[in-house]
């Protein structure tokens, strides 16, 4: 049996595009002699469809698309993922399903059993878990077909009380196929490989795994589809962050052969390299799938906006990136020069709009209310909000999307201005700690200096008052980021973090700032997710809670 694995980029709710893309690859696989071509989980509608799934018309469109695809499956079979109605009276209205299509008809339906309901996942909100498991007969082979999480219950601390493969293995399958929608996080590729390797060696069967690639708003899917032999050895690893169609032959002894060169990596890519590639894909797909092409951002000369500008130029092309310098009376000459040097290095568009007269106009208008009160955060935030007004005006006038340049460290502790530097259409580095931003800058400069060296080495500053430095308000980032990671990503308590050797005052202060800033994070743009625990849809905290404050 010759299998083709189709690792493709889908668009949520874009049935015409998704269907055409799938049919195109069915035809290509057929031309190359494949017996079966395998697509990803919920490929028909895209993942995650979220509350689109509550519209009956949406579900009907999925079935219409599936039937169009079935017509193309003559002399070739395919596996596709889609939501279908649950016709049982009991339970949720839908199943997360896979169709096995052969000779123009749906030959078998497999429903997902283990429905993730943690972090970014909320599948049990929509789907009913399956309790029936059966293999599929095809070309003299018996296929154990599962959907994503159905193979993820082999870990030491299982989330579920059943393992679908424990039932399927009693039916003597010859091969396992798993279709998935597994989002990117910088540590997820290793975890994914270990889980699937364990399945292949546990059940002593070859395993073919197909994942999505592409971004859906804040979620990024990295591809990295995998093939394991029956001993659990990883024999092929599809490229990350790009589409791919590959072919394999499974013989009667369960041995796998293929013509292309295996891309199994001897050494994993560094976290920063993966984050870089994920953010490029995240920016590109956010714009392409939203129907926009041009980005704008405020360029300060600091490292955060420099990194975002460089990423956007790579993702969209420098000709589609507008960098706006918005100097105030507190902006240093070297910051302006650093920003100009970056624009020259990238070749992107740029404009300069001084905000001194604008902020002075606001201060004059407010003088009857402020009277002779000393300069403080109110005047600082006027500067930031003045910049946001100008950037958003250019968005409205010229059709740009504003890129938010706040990093995860700032977002965590609320070091930003609501309706000022926290505004934007998409937050590019909102899941990247400040220390990682420095690493990203070095990675971007790996072949030549793109981001000016001075933007990297100078002390971080918002430049909203004379001589201001981030360290005036926050602990040093190399300490702060470690505390943040332990609390946010590892869910450690203050006492546990202090027990690791961190200074008690710093820990309590950081955690208090995180919790007090929750109301700000509720009002920020979507954040491209690159870590195991990002702010946004995967981290749900009360705004008015008192815990750990």
CB 132 within 8 A of CB 124: no
What residue spans of 399-472 are helical by DSSP H?
408-413, 434-444, 453-457
Lookup: tokens for 105: 């008809």
CB 350 within 8 A of CB 322: yes
CB 215 within 8 A of CB 530: no
pLDDT of amino acid 266: 78
CB 164 within 8 A of CB 83: no
Is residue 118 reached through a cis peptide bond, with omega within 30 degrees of 0 on the bond before it?
no
Eight-class DSSP state of 403: E
Q: Where in the chain is the domain with CATH 3.60.110.10?
A: 2-261
- Supply the Cα-derived Rg of the chain in whole angstroms: 26
The residues that bridge with 298 in the sheet, in sequence order, are 324
Three-state secondary structure call for residue 480: helix
The closest alpha carbon to 420, from 336, 350, 295, 525, belongs to 525
pLDDT of amino acid 315: 98
Is residue 478 reached through a cis peptide bond, with omega within 30 degrees of 0 on the bond before it?
no
The closest alpha carbon to 225, from 8, 435, 420, belongs to 8
CB 356 within 8 A of CB 328: yes
d(C-alpha 11, C-alpha 15), whole Å: 8
Three-state secondary structure call for residue 170: helix
Q: Where in the chain is the domain with CATH 3.40.50.620?
A: 274-521
d(C-alpha 428, C-alpha 434), whole Å: 13
Active site residues: 41, 112, 148
CA dist 390 to 312, 352, 395, 457, 508, Å? 20, 11, 9, 29, 37
Q: Give the CATH architecture of domain 2-261.
A: 4-Layer Sandwich (3.60)
Secondary structure in 3-state letters for 76-87:
CEEEEEEEEECC
What residue spans of 4-49 are helical by DSSP H?
15-31
Instruction: Identify the CATH homologous superfamily for domain 274-521.
Output: HUPs (3.40.50.620)
pLDDT of amino acid 160: 82
Phi/psi region, residue 544 (left: phi>0; alpha: psi -120 to 50; beta: rest), is alpha
Kindly report the pTM of this predicted structure: 0.94
d(C-alpha 38, C-alpha 178), whole Å: 9
Lookup: tokens for 303: 């490292």
Lookup: tokens for 148: 């994503």
Main-chain dihedrals φ then ψ at residue 435, nearest 5 degrees: -65, -35
Three-state secondary structure call for residue 451: coil
The closest alpha carbon to 298, from 380, 406, 382, 396, belongs to 406
CB 144 within 8 A of CB 166: no
CB 41 within 8 A of CB 147: yes
pLDDT of amino acid 320: 98
d(C-alpha 508, C-alpha 497), whole Å: 10
Please report, in tens digits, the pLDDT of each residue of the chain (549 residues total). Answer: 999 999 999 999 999 999 999 999 999 999 999 999 999 999 999 999 999 999 999 999 999 999 999 999 999 999 999 999 999 889 999 999 999 999 999 999 999 999 999 999 999 999 999 999 999 999 999 999 999 999 998 666 677 888 999 999 999 999 999 999 999 999 999 999 999 999 999 999 999 999 999 999 999 999 999 999 999 999 999 999 999 999 999 999 999 999 999 889 878 899 999 999 999 999 999 999 999 999 999 999 999 999 999 999 999 999 999 999 999 887 666 789 999 999 999 999 999 999 999 999 999 999 999 998 999 989 899 999 999 999 999 999 999 999 999 999 999 999 999 999 999 999 999 999 999 999 999 999 999 999 999 999 987 776 666 666 766 778 899 999 999 999 999 999 999 999 999 999 999 999 999 999 999 999 999 999 999 999 999 998 888 877 665
């Amino acid at each position: 049996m010759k299998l083709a694995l189709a690792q493709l980029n889908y668009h949520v709710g874009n049935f015409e595009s998704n269907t055409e893309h799938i049919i195109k690859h069915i035809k290509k696989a057929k031309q190359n002699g494949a017996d079966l071509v395998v697509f990803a989980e919920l490929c028909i509608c895209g993942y995650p469809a979220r509350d689109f799934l509550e519209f009956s018309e949406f579900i009907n469109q999925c079935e219409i698309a599936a039937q169009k695809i079935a017509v193309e499956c003559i002399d070739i079979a395919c596996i596709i993922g889609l939501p279908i109605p649950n016709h049982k009276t009991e339970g949720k209205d839908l199943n997360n399903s896979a169709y096995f299509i052969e000779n123009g008809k749906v030959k078998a339906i497999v429903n997902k059993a283990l429905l993730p309901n943690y972090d970014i996942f909320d599948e049990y909100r929509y789907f009913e878990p399956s309790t029936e498991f059966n293999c599929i007969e095809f070309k003299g082979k018996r296929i154990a077909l599962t959907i994503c999480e159905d193979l993820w219950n082999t870990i030491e601390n299982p989330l579920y009380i059943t393992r679908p493969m424990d039932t399927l293995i009693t039916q003597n399958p010859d091969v396992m196929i798993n279709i998935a929608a597994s989002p990117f996080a910088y540590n997820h590729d290793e975890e994914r490989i270990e889980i699937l390797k364990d399945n292949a060696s546990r059940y002593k069967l070859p395993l073919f795994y197909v994942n999505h690639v592409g971004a859906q708003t804040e979620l990024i899917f990295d591809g990295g589809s995998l093939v394991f032999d029956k001993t659990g050895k990883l024999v092929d690893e599809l490229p990350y962050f790009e589409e791919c169609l590959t072919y394999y032959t499974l013989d009667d002894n369960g041995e796998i052969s293929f013509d292309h060169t295996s891309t199994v990596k001897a050494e994993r890519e560094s976290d920063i390299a993966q984050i870089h590639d994920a953010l490029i894909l995240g920016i590109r797909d956010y714009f392409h799938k939203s129907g926009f092409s041009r980005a704008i951002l405020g360029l300060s000369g600091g490292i955060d906006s420099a990194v975002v500008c460089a990423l956007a130029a790579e993702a969209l092309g420098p000709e589609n990136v507008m960098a706006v310098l918005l100097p105030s009376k507190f902006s240093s000459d070297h910051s302006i020069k650093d920003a100009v040097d970056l624009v020259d290095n990238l070749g992107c568009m740029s404009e300069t709009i001084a905000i001194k007269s604008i902020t002075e106009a606001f201060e004059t208008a407010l003088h009857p209310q402020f009277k002779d009160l000393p300069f403080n955060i109110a005047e600082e935030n006027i500067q930031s909000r003045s910049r946001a007004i100008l950037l958003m005006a250019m968005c409205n006038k010229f059709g740009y999307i504003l890129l938010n340049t706040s990093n995860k460290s700032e977002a965590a502790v609320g070091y930003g201005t609501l309706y000022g530097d926290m505004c934007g259409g998409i937050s590019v580095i909102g899941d990247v700690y400040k220390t990682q931003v420095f690493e990203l800058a070095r990675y971007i400069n790996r072949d030549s200096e793109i981001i000016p060296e001075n933007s990297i080495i100078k002390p971080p500053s918002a430049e909203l008052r004379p001589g201001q430095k981030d360290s005036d308000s926050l602990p040093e980032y190399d300490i702060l980021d470690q505390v943040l990671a332990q609390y946010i990503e590892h869910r450690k308590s203050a006492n546990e973090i202090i027990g690791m050797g961190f200074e008690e005052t710093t820990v309590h202060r950081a955690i208090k700032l995180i919790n007090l800033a929750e109301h700000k994070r509720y009002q920020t743009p979507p954040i491209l997710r690159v870590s195991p625990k990002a702010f946004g849809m995967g981290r749900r905290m009360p705004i008015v809670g008192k815990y750990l404050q």
